[in-house]
Amino acid sequence: MNAALASGRYSGGQLLELALEHDAGFDPRYFAQALRAVDRWPDREYEVYGINGGQVEDMRRRLRAWAAEILDERLDEK
């Protein structure tokens, strides 16, 4: 997800639409909670994928922001 967002090829909204199209049981709220788990692991756990400390922090910030955006949109729908 991070690579797709960082590439700029897809927006967060487009990625959610794709998920909903391909998985009838997809729940954006649960997905947002999973995105927020990005802070559970130390940087070294992500570095095995070839990203450095600065990139890890960028990823964390991007995924936390996306999770907040998803949850805010869901609250607005109620």
Does position 77 have pLDDT exceeding 90, yes or no?
no
Which pLDDT value is given to residue 63?
Answer: 94
Full-prediction pTM beyond 0.75? yes
Mean pLDDT score of the chain: 90
Does position 3 have pLDDT exceeding 90, yes or no?
no
Q: What total of structural domains would you count in the chain?
A: 1
How many degrees, rounded to 5, is the angle at CA 11 between CA 52 and CA 63? 40
Q: Which range of residues forms the domain containing residue 37?
A: 2-77
In whole angstroms, give the CA distance from residue 39 to residue 78: 28
Please give the residue that has the higher pLDDT: either 77 or 28: 28
In whole angstroms, give the CA distance from residue 23 to residue 12: 16
| DSSP3 helix / strand / coil % (the chain, rounded to 5) | 75, 0, 25
pLDDT, one tens digit per residue, over 6-24 is 898 999 999 999 999 999 9
In whole angstroms, give the CA distance from residue 76 to residue 78: 6
